[in-house]
Amino acid sequence: MPTENPSSSGFLAPGWLSTLSRRSSKSSLNDQNSDPGMIVAPRRPSASSEGKRSRSRNSSLSDGAREVLERISTTFPRSRTPSIASQSGLGSPAPTLKNIKTEMSFNWWGAFINYNKIVTNRESKNTENAPFQSKEFEEICKELTKQCGGYFSCGLPESTFDLALLWCPAGKIHRKTGDGKGPSWSWVGWYGAGVNFPFDPFSCPDYRHLDGNLFMSEIVSYALGPETSWAVRRERDESRLRLDIPYYYPAGKFRHAEDTDTLRFRAFTISGAKFNLRQLDVDDEYEVVDENKQNHVQNDGGRQPTQSIPYTQIWDDKDQHCGIIMDFRANIYNKPSEQNQPQHVFKYVKLSRSRLSDENPKVQRGGGNIIHPPGAPVWKDGAFLWDQSLESFDEEKFEKHEWCMFNVMLIEQQVGGWWERKAIGQIHEVAWKAQNPQNEEIILR
């Protein structure tokens, strides 16, 4: 099978260590960003599309996107670090169908923010026997499609499919069972504490001062259904959304009458056995202690961890912290292999890159519980925190630059050869490329 060849340019890595850090302690990227050679971008098949990428990356926001951002910014209070109570009060609640119809979205930038609010604060908090999706959510999806174009598949908007796939659990969630349970790759196939979108660039106001794209997909195309598939129609207007999506002419011609649980695509993968996972625990003041190194970690007050949080560190074969999984370790390895049954097989699948940015000191914080800082934000009491964030890798082992982190999906093989999603995370590109990734077709259900 073909392997993924590292670029000749030196890869620098983003840095988030394995503990919670204060936002003010982040190291600066300003000097590194001045070197265009630091930005690693996937290739395009034609010179014309490559030119489009170059122009969009160096251009300012379009008027429509700028207007959306200005409208969003007016909702932020002036407090730099609002209290948990103010954030969990949902200052910007999930919009209703009436709100969606009244406040027209200019494009999928604003529409995805509304989608994020609805899914995070209402739709994903369901029970095992809850309907596939509520009637109101179905009507909201139709209205967003009417305003911005595109389709929805199993609760995910196809226009921003790469972003929608990166949902993460807000707490304990469980796989639905039985008929009509929904696919593992969509939040509709799970029930429990709900989900959030920590890597959504549209809900991070610190990105507003940046030029160019904020996100790059590594997947040429997604297909829904069996061999005769419907190709997911992703929006590729970079000037409006600042999402870098590879050019692809859809081969699928007919949309399936009903949602399908089968998602097909080609991607680079690495065996799950190549990395180790370590659960993060917190004490009563939400300071993090590494579970595997508790005997070596001493907090100021000698506090002991009291609870696990949905964050798990990824360590490579050199015992270096190189990434993070946004889930509990126990949710990933939740059942032992039965006697005479094959061992569980896991793989990491590379999906996309999220741009790394420093905190912008001029940004006003707060406004709603989905608004988050750059990097790997911390979810607590129903909101993302502003004065703390997770460090995704060891900066003493890996250097960082804007595009050094891969968004990955951890998947588990099922009987029959297909795969189920287990979790979403990020892995530093240097650690990823060191494991000789392989290109293969993935079938998710």
Q: How confident is the model at residue 428 (pLDDT cuts 50, 70, 90)?
A: very high
pLDDT surpassing 90 at residue 214: yes
Q: Maximum Cα–Cα distance for the chain, whole Å?
A: 63
Average pLDDT over every residue of 15-30: 37
DSSP string, 159-189: GGHHHHTT-EESS-EEE--STT---TTSGGG
Mean pLDDT, rounded, for 13-21 = 32
Alpha-helical (H) ranges within 242-362 are 329-332
> CA-CA distances (angstroms) from residue 279 to 124, 284, 309, 329, 394?
24, 17, 8, 6, 16
Confidence of residue 402 (pLDDT cuts 50, 70, 90): very high
Mean pLDDT over 164-185 rounds to 93
* Radius of gyration for the alpha carbons in the chain, expressed in angstroms and rounded: 21
Q: Quick one: pLDDT band at residue 132, thresholds 50, 70, 90?
A: low
Confidence at 175, pLDDT banded by 50, 70, 90: very high
Instruction: Read off the pLDDT of residues 233-275 as tens digits, 9 standing for 90 and up.
Output: 676 666 667 777 776 655 555 555 456 789 999 999 999 999 9
385 near 391, Cβ under 8 Å?
A: no
pLDDT at 401 over 70: yes
How far from chain centre, in Å, is Cα 269?
Answer: 17
Which of 85-94, 108-117, 243-252, 368-377 has the least mean pLDDT? 85-94
pLDDT (average), residues 167-190: 93
CA 222 to mean position of chain CA atoms: 17
DSSP letter for 104, please.
-
Instruction: Check the CA dihedral 46-49-53-54 and report its sign.
Output: positive
pLDDT for 134:
85
Which conformational region is residue 329 in: left (phi greater than 0), alpha (psi within -120 to 50 degrees), or beta?
A: alpha
- pLDDT band at 280, cuts 50/70/90? confident
Least confident residue range of 153-162, 340-349, 381-390: 340-349
What's the average model confidence in pLDDT over 201-230? 85
- At 285 the pLDDT is 65
Q: For residue 56, name the pLDDT band (cuts at 50, 70, 90).
A: very low
Q: How far apart are CA 238 and CA 236, in angstroms?
A: 6
**Strand, helix or coil for residue 350:** strand
Q: Is the pLDDT of residue 380 over 80?
A: yes
Identify the pLDDT of residue 410: 98
What pLDDT score does 288 carry?
A: 66
Q: Is the pTM of this model over 0.85?
A: no
Residue 325 parent element (H or E): strand 321-325
Most confident of 135-149, 275-289, 352-366: 135-149
Label residue 60 by pLDDT band (50, 70, 90).
very low
Neighbours of 194 (CB within 10 A): 23
